[in-house]
Amino acid sequence: MPEFKIQHITRYTYDGMVRDSANQIILFPIVDANQDVLKHDLTITGNPLVDTHIDYYGNEVGSFTYLEQHNRMVINSEVLVVTHAKELPSETTPAATQWQKLSALQNIVPYIDFLKHDYFDALPDLIAVIETEKQAEDTPYQTALRFCEYVYRNFEYLPGVTTVETTIDEVLQLKAGVCQDFAHLLVLMLRLLNIPARYISGYICPNHNGMRGEGATHAWAEVYLPDYGWLGIDPTNNCIANETHVRLAVGRNFSDCSPVKGVYKGSWGHKLEVKVSVEYKDQPTAIIDAEKLPSNSFIQATEAEEFSTNSYQRYKEAMLLQQQQQQQ
């Protein structure tokens, strides 16, 4: 029954003054039998009113606006979470029966959303990989672990080569990526075998060996197993995601779970820095001042891409193109 103190800082620094900012945050850890939130402090630049609602997938989603001019925005979330280890599947049901049970879920809410995939160019190649990797006598649980290991062994963990917009085709070509890409790929491989699989965003808490994904938000997959329920598996660390993984949101993919996103008016350039620190409750704590933290202490830092040096032209093109939407 570990207790974690988690601090998650998101800092936007803008090139110039911006205004009319609207934001959506999914930073509220899931509360269920295996996870409970003891305390949650959320501070945001400008102290906006955060309105929360429960989305289609059951996640708590916050939204807020900040109209005044500003050149940085910091979202500081401090949570005290207690987790309980979930017992692993006992696998008493024969494999064939389990597969049968899964095939009956295809057209049932909520599984239908976690079984669908879009068309992409490398689909036939990926199906070939699945055909080679899967073992005829495996249960869905064993298959999930096997695919998890496949992703772990065959894809290089390489921060910086991908972004939130990287497609599956690109990941398959690069053979590298970060937790988010690994989770997307594993989810897809399982869905292609008719195992419901969903995307999870959250935090990973350190153990003695050190884990990939520390210091930032993490992502992994959950599979649905007959007679058991959802089980977390982490292809980035090739392990079961259990009491050291704190869940923030579930969804079909990253965009359903995006921890922080926002839109603003003003100069095009911005820098996004994210830092997550996790400590066991009994460790001495050093809460960080989110406003003053130097840039080099952030793990995830992205610069908004310069699409075109002439942002006026870019805006004009977007206007022209989008206004021409066909009216019915």
Partner 1 sequence: MYKSAHFSEYNAVNGVWDEMYSDNSSIRDHYQRVIEYLSKESTDNLNKKEDLARRLFMTQGITFTVYNSGEGIEKIFPFDIIPRIITASEWNFVEKGIKQRLTALNLFLKDVYHNQFIIKDGIVPIDVIYSCPHFLREMYQVDVPHDIYVHIAGIDLIRDEHGAFYVLEDNLRTPSGVSYMLENREITKRLFPDLLPQCNVRSVTEYPTILYKNLLALSPRQISNPTIVLLSPGIYNSAYFEHTTLARLMGVELVEGRDLVVNNHKVYMKTTTGLQQVDVIYRRVDDEYLDPLVFNPTSVLGVAGLMSAYRKGNVAIVNAIGNGVADDKAIYSYVPDMIKYYLNEEPLLKNVPTYQLRNADEREFTFANINSMVVKKTNGSGGYGMLMGHAADEQEIEDYKKEILKDPRNFIAQPTISLSAAPCYIQGMLQPRRIDLRPYALCGPDGIEIVPGGLTRVALKEGSLVVNSSQGGGSKDTWVLA
- Footprint of partner 1 (CB under 8 A): 20-24, 48-49, 51, 53, 55-57, 63, 65, 67, 107-109, 112-113, 116, 119, 261-264, 315, 318-320, 322-328
| Residue from 127, 184, 121 nearest 155 by CA | 184
DSSP class of residue 93 equals S
Least spacing, CB of residue 6 vs partner 1, in Å: 25
Q: Rounded CA gap, 42 and 9, in Å?
A: 10
Strand, helix or coil for residue 55: coil
Q: Rounded CA gap, 86 and 32, in Å?
A: 11
Least spacing, CB of residue 53 vs partner 1, in Å: 6
Q: Is 268 in contact with 306 (CB distance < 8 Å)?
A: yes
Least spacing, CB of residue 213 vs partner 1, in Å: 25
In the bound state with partner 1, the residue whose beta carbon lies nearer, of 175 and 265, is 265
In the bound state with partner 1, the residue whose beta carbon lies nearer, of 175 and 316, is 316
Least spacing, CB of residue 27 vs partner 1, in Å: 16
Q: Where are the alpha helices (DSSP H) in 41-139?
A: 95-103, 123-133
Residue keyed to tokens 């509220």: 28
Least spacing, CB of residue 1 vs partner 1, in Å: 34
Q: Is 314 in contact with 320 (CB distance < 8 Å)?
A: no
